[in-house]
Structure 1
Amino acid sequence: MPKIRAESTSRRTRDETAKAASTVSQAIQFDKSFGQHILKNPLIVNGIIEKAGLRNTDTVLEIGPGTGNLTMKLLEASKKVVACEVDVRLVAELQKRVMGTPYQRNLEILVGDVLKADLPFFDVCVANMPYQISSPFVFKLLLHRPFFRCAVLMFQKEFAQRLYAKPGDPAYCRLSVNTQLLARVDHLMKVGRNNFRPPPQVESAVVRIEPRNPPPPINFQEWDGLVRITFVRKNKTLHAAFMSSAVLEMLDRNYRTFCALNNTELPEGFEIKPLVEQILEASGFSEKRARLMDTDDFLRLLEAFNNEGVHFA
């Protein structure tokens, strides 16, 4: 992802720069394929800044800065902002907006698709997320190292609800479990569609994500394999979920591979189904349902399977 640093060619006052940027940005035809909906309400912008708890020593990663309404506030509150933007037209607008201000040296712009790039070092991430990349970006963020302090992110309301939903909530799903394994998620505020230009078709919400440090000592791919099985039909019992032929075939292959790698001889006439049933019964999860289980439940279930050599990745 190429880097651009804003450079000054003339001196303007901060008010003149903001006014010029606003006039030009109104003339831009925003690209819906990039999910471009520019946050225009200064009260929402200030609320996001406050909830991020920024320090003057922080490096902030901003995704989708647009015309810079949020970026300028981030620059005021932090040491440095690294802004990731895929649209070169908006990159030009952002450069113009900081030109001649005290903050131009503190802004670095990365041009390109944030999902395809290595994330730089940062302390805090703040973003008005393009809705179509919400899920992959969340997990790219949570698997990023070194750890960051927190992220304050705006999403489509329904997606945000899935992030912080608790067992028993209608929105509770595989995304909820996977996210809450790796982070604490708090709902901060709702944001109506009229706070954007152009207004999106959906309502939005802002959440705060704080990664768990250290993370649980598990293989995330295997964890996700287990959770994926249980949430195919989250209202069914786990016994019913694990008795599908496709699941049993997959677990049988994995078990045989595990035995081969560990020089363990399979019993004559071995079948995976009785072993899976035994694990579910012994662990007390046979009649449990995924929609009512929390991350601790899934951790205990994964440990019960792994202790018997049954793996999911």
Structure 2
Amino acid sequence: MPKIRAEKKSRVHGQIQQGIHFKKEFGQHILKNPLVIQGIVDKAAIRPTDTVLEIGPGTGNMTMKMVDKCKKIVACEVDVRMVAELQKRIQGTPAASKVQFIVGDVLKTDLPFFDICVANMPYQISSPFVFKLLLHRPFFRCAVLMFQREFAQRLVAKPGDKLYCRLSVNTQLLATVDHLMKVGKNNFKPPPQVESSVVRIEPKVPPPPINFQEWDGLVRVVFVRKNKTLSAGFRSSAVMDMLEKNYKVHCSVNSIPVPPDMDVKEKVLEILTESGYAEKRARTLDVDDFLAILNAFNSAGFHFC
């Protein structure tokens, strides 16, 4: 009787599979379909000389498919129980010498050198991890990552698409992103509440020679109201105050006198009009458009960070 009560208590917080209690707070959904796992590994095109970074290896289903194809796997796992499970799985096999573990939160961990990243991502860290990955140096060759379906669709969305957003623009500035496959929820144990997709991310080398923080500041401003014209979006007092403050800092640093009668609102609308973007809407603009807008503002001494 005590054993039955203990098992029921565990099931309140997660699923029990082969003695493992999956924790929802870690977003643990183990990919169990070997055909899907093989498809992801094949899409990664791993070379014998590659170091593979695997995020969230769980019980090692994907790890075991990759280990014979590469030089080394660096497995980053936050759950020490999963680390122990995978260590038991590879103990006494040739894989044991090829798998290195990093135990901890990947968002708080300095990533090592790697050629390829492969991951069944915990969905709650998708966005911050993508940008941690894209800002990582030295450059890696590609990443093949599993995400919640809608998040993946946002990554690949094009101007005019319903899901086109700040995430789409920022990612596509730094990388080429392709949708590879859809993965149904029943391919996982326990099944998540949403459908999933696998994408391939390939960094642009070299990256555009811009300050990414400033770029993101511009994109953040225009996507607050992505369906309104840029001239309407820039009229908010918060945006005007930020641009005026940054302009005065720019002038001070560069010993440029600020005209006493300068009207910031008028100047901003003038920049948008002369660059041809005053009546454009954020949802229709691509990366090149945003680069042109940022250049127009910077040339006039206005900055977004």
Q: Is the 8 A contact 1:63 1:129 kept in 2?
A: yes
Secondary structure, counterpart of 1:280 in structure 2 = helix
Counterpart for residue 291 of structure 1? 283
Tell me the distance in 2 between the aligned counterparts of 1:26 and 1:231: 46
Q: Is the 8 A contact 1:60 1:125 kept in 2?
A: yes
Highest relative contact order (Cα 8 Å, sep 6+), 1 or 2?
Answer: 1
- Among residues 111, 121, 127, which one is paired with 2:119 in the alignment? 127
Q: CA RMSD in A?
A: 0.8
Secondary structure, counterpart of 2:38 in structure 1 = helix
Map Cα deviations across residues 118-146 of structure 1 (whole Å, 9 max, x no partner).
Answer: 00000000000000000000000000000
The residue type paired with residue 200 of structure 1 is P
Q: CA deviation at 1:25?
A: 5.0
Counterpart for residue 165 of structure 1? 157
Matched, 1:95 2:97: no
> 1:11-160 residue pairs with structure 2 within 5 A?
26-160=18-152
Gaps of 5+ in 1: 1-23
Tell me the distance in 2 between the aligned counterparts of 1:117 and 1:88: 15
Q: TM-score, normalised by structure 2?
A: 0.94
Matched, 1:178 2:170: yes
Counterpart for residue 18 of structure 1? none
Q: Is the 8 A contact 1:181 1:216 kept in 2?
A: yes
Counterpart for residue 276 of structure 1? 268
The residue type paired with residue 130 of structure 1 is P
The residue type paired with residue 117 of structure 2 is C
Q: CA deviation at 1:27?
A: 2.0
Q: CA deviation at 1:26?
A: 2.2
Q: CA deviation at 1:62?
A: 0.2
- Percent sequence identity over matched residues? 71
Q: Is the 8 A contact 1:239 1:287 kept in 2?
A: yes
Tell me the distance in 2 between the aligned counterparts of 1:120 and 1:231: 34
Q: TM-score, normalised by structure 1?
A: 0.92
Structure 1: 4+ residue segments shifted above 6 A: none
Matched, 1:262 2:246: no
* Bigger Cα displacement from structure 2, 69-78 vs 118-127: 69-78
Tell me the distance in 1 between the aligned counterparts of 2:19 and 2:147: 25
Secondary structure, counterpart of 2:145 in structure 1 = strand
Q: Is the 8 A contact 1:25 1:93 kept in 2?
A: no
Tell me the distance in 2 between the aligned counterparts of 1:72 and 1:135: 27
